Chain A
Amino acid sequence: MEQPVIDWQALQSSLHLLGSSYSAWLLTIPGIALGMLGGAIPGVSSALILAIVLPATLWMSLLSSLIFMTAIYTGAAFGVAIPAILMGVPGSPAAVATSFDGYPMTQRGEHNLALGLALAASTLGHMGAYLILFFGIGIISHAVLKLGPLEMLLLMLWGLTLIAALRGRYVSRSLVSGLIGILIATIGLSPRDVIRGTFDLPELLDGVPVVPAMIGLFAASELFNLAGTSYLVSRSDLRTVRIGEIARGMIEALRHPIVILRGLVIGATIGGLPGVGAAVCNLVSYAETRRGDKHPESFGKGNPKGVIAAESGNASSEAGSMATLLALGIPGGASSAVMLAALSLHDVTSGPQFLDTSKDVVYAIILNNFVQGAIMLALGLGLIGLMANVIRIPVRILIPVILVLATFGSYGLSGNMAGPLTMVVFGLLGWLMQRHDYSVPACVVGLILGGKVEANLLQTYQISGGWQFSYFAGRPIAMVLLLLLLFSLFSRPIMQWWKRQRAASAAALQENKAKSA
């Protein structure tokens, strides 16, 4: 089916749609604000906010409800970075990597800078990804279809190699963290319906709930450790909110366009894969930037590039998941599932034909999201200015408030105490892990990816008839992915080894010359 890259007629019609739909525009600003505020509360995910507003969308037009929901999604994508930077407590798994370098910056008193970096990276990543979506929604959705379980497995393995990149002082301990994270991820129903490790609790049949577990691992353990301190930023002279510095951070982000671009591409492409959400894109973008950097050891200690990479990856994944949602009718995760419900509330059967019949609506959403980026800059500056004052609140007040909020959030999504209880258990685990130098981020990576790795591994086994070579031989994309995986893993160490060999042989040559002279 030949499709022009840009359907001009649909574009015109979409502009008309946007021009005449006042409610859509009226809803954009509150949507972004709601998303940002909600996202900034650890444990309250965009999926929860979307689920709460879903009934209200019944009274809105299709375009308005989709714009309202994507606005919330956009706002939340940035909102979750705020507590990640200010307190080391990511608002959701989508900001895990942001905290790696964002929080150390806060501890140095550079929180204004970090927030500015995050806002700029988030906005640029968001807008850039939607730009890609505008031209390539057809391409992206077709590419998604071409990936079978083998390709997905390789992508997941690539994600798992992050564990090696995220190691702390002890390689062996971090590996153990990651492996245990993988094991925990397999608790519940196996892909072949075997019940594993659930203590006979039906609540665990679908596995350990990831968001509360992650909140527990990061948040609770961070917060417990703050028990002795008075303020998040120890030096009182640095404990200020300066809009000027925030703006400086935003401009600083522009000095690293490659980092932003990398995150953008990662989010727009793999963010569209079902099950691969902002959390994975956030981590992968961070790890790839760190891997390709001249000073990887500076990451995790307050390197601005870390914040930029993480936020760019996070923000751009929204566009990716919208691609598969609108073009294929496939929800990528909990948030897009709610949007799917909104679509059916408006009598729309989503699927490939939606793209054909309602391209103007799709374009309208994309165009509106461009503008959302600009709105987010303005709103974000104002909101950050407000929320950054959190650092002036004494820690003894912050700790109970955040813990209660997180409990609230993790109850809200599942409706039972499984969420909050998971948070407690993983809070304890996270604290113990930190105390003995077992990398918590490695565990989180294993937790997020473990289930998918097993599912795809098993499907690859099934679909290849038990590892029949004929299956693997006929899959060129998989070969390419495998080469990319090996390249990104080994290229740097091999280059360094090669350099050392040449330096050594050059030195030996010099020595011989000197001797013979």
Chain B
Amino acid sequence: MSRERDHVPDWEHLLFAALLLAFIVWYLWTAAAASLTFSNLILIAPVGAVAAVLLLYIASVEIFGRVATTGVSSVQTDAAAGTAHSRFRSGSLATIAALMGLFGAFVLAIPYIGFDVATFLFVGATLWLLGERHIVVLLSLALGIAVALSLAALTLLTFPMPMAVARAVWSSL
């Protein structure tokens, strides 16, 4: 039995696994602190424990490589893993990260600048990020969608959505 040679740990994966492990530990800790009783922990303790153990196993495989039983199978696994990652790596991580950031900013901004304005800005910025360069198309799409959805929110939804100008405009019509 020997470890695979030339195994490079995927640090991104390790970081993610560590994050998951941290969540499990934190959650079990606060739950036990809230109430250290059988009825409280009956499910989450075993589930959390098994998940934590699995994550430690996954992490150790990532760091040390899989124990090779035959040379062929480990090469196959590596190759398969390699192609899985390359699917994401070639697709511009920066663009994806920017998109996620924009979406997060959009949602966070809604209570502060209103759904109408936020939608307009978000759609416009995202279109630009994803490659739309015709300014007329960009602006008209952004405006159109913002108007349409704000209208829908004002007329259909039972809960008032935060708006900057749409409500005032609508009630004046």
Binding site for B on A (CB under 8 A): 51-52, 169-170, 172-173, 175-176, 179-180, 182-183, 186-187, 190-192, 194-197, 220, 224-225, 227-229, 395-397, 399-401, 403-405, 407-408, 411-412, 414-417, 420-421, 423-424, 427-428, 431-432, 435-437, 450, 453-454, 457-458, 461
Closest residue on chain A to residue B80 by CB atoms: A169
Interface positions of B from 110 to 146, Cβ below 8 Å from A: 110-111, 119, 122-123, 126-127, 130-132, 141, 145
* 16 A–B contacts, CB within 8 A, in A order: A180-B23, A183-B27, A183-B47, A186-B43, A220-B100, A227-B91, A227-B96, A396-B130, A396-B131, A397-B141, A403-B103, A404-B145, A421-B107, A428-B100, A431-B100, A454-B43
Cα of A409 to Cα of B131 in the assembled complex, Å: 27
Q: Interface 1/0s, chain B 8-40, versus A by CB < 8 A?
A: 001011001100100110010011001101011
Other than A228-B92, A420-B107, give 14 A-B pairs with Cβ distance below 8 A: A169-B80, A176-B51, A183-B51, A191-B39, A227-B91, A228-B95, A396-B131, A407-B106, A412-B153, A416-B159, A417-B110, A428-B100, A454-B42, A461-B39
Residue from the set A175, A190, A405 with the largest chain B CB neighbour count within 10 Å:
A190
Cα of A183 to Cα of B22 in the assembled complex, Å: 13
Q: Are B100 and A401 in contact (CB under 8 A)?
A: no
Closest residue on chain A to residue B85 by CB atoms: A435
Closest residue on chain A to residue B94 by CB atoms: A227
Q: Are A51 and B158 in contact (CB under 8 A)?
A: yes
Contacts of B47 in A (CB 8 A): 179, 182-183
A423/B96 contact (C-beta < 8 A), A169-B84, A194-B40, A225-B91 known: no
Contacts of A454 in B (CB 8 A): 42-44
Q: Are B159 and A412 in contact (CB under 8 A)?
A: yes
Contacts of B43 in A (CB 8 A): 182, 186, 450, 453-454, 457-458
Cβ 8 A contact of B54, one of A175, A397, A412, A458: A175
- B164 contacts partner chain A, Cβ-Cβ < 8 Å: no
Binding site for A on B (CB under 8 A): 10, 12-13, 16-17, 20, 23-24, 27, 30-31, 34-35, 37, 39-40, 42-44, 47-48, 50-51, 54-55, 57-58, 80-81, 84-85, 88, 90-92, 95-96, 99-100, 103-104, 106-108, 110-111, 119, 122-123, 126-127, 130-132, 141, 145, 149, 152-153, 156-159, 161
Cα of A173 to Cα of B81 in the assembled complex, Å: 13
Closest residue on chain A to residue B49 by CB atoms: A179
Cα of A454 to Cα of B44 in the assembled complex, Å: 8
Q: Are B96 and A224 in contact (CB under 8 A)?
A: yes
Cβ 8 A contact of B34, one of A194, A403, A415, A424: A194
Give 9 nearest A-B pairs by CB, closest first. Answer: A415-B159, A396-B130, A179-B51, A228-B91, A400-B126, A454-B43, A194-B35, A400-B123, A196-B31
Contacts of A412 in B (CB 8 A): 153, 156-157, 159
Closest residue on chain A to residue B97 by CB atoms: A224
A424/B107 contact (C-beta < 8 A), A197-B31, A396-B127, A408-B149 known: yes
Q: Are A437 and B84 in contact (CB under 8 A)?
A: yes
Q: Are B31 and A172 in contact (CB under 8 A)?
A: no
A227/B34 contact (C-beta < 8 A), A399-B99, A407-B107, A424-B104 known: no
Contacts of A187 in B (CB 8 A): 27
Cα of A183 to Cα of B90 in the assembled complex, Å: 33
Contacts of B57 in A (CB 8 A): 172
Q: Are B13 and A227 in contact (CB under 8 A)?
A: no
Cβ 8 A contact of B58, one of A52, A176, A399, A401: A176
Cβ 8 A contact of B31, one of A191, A194, A415: A194
Cβ 8 A contact of A400, one of B37, B81, B84, B127: B127
Q: Are A196 and B145 in contact (CB under 8 A)?
A: no
A176/B54 contact (C-beta < 8 A), A225-B91, A423-B107, A436-B16 known: yes
Cα of A498 to Cα of B109 in the assembled complex, Å: 61
A180/B145 contact (C-beta < 8 A), A224-B96, A427-B103, A458-B42 known: no
Closest residue on chain A to residue B57 by CB atoms: A172
Closest residue on chain B to residue A55 by CB atoms: B158
Contacts of B31 in A (CB 8 A): 194, 196-197
Q: Are A417 and B107 in contact (CB under 8 A)?
A: yes
Q: Are A224 and B99 in contact (CB under 8 A)?
A: yes
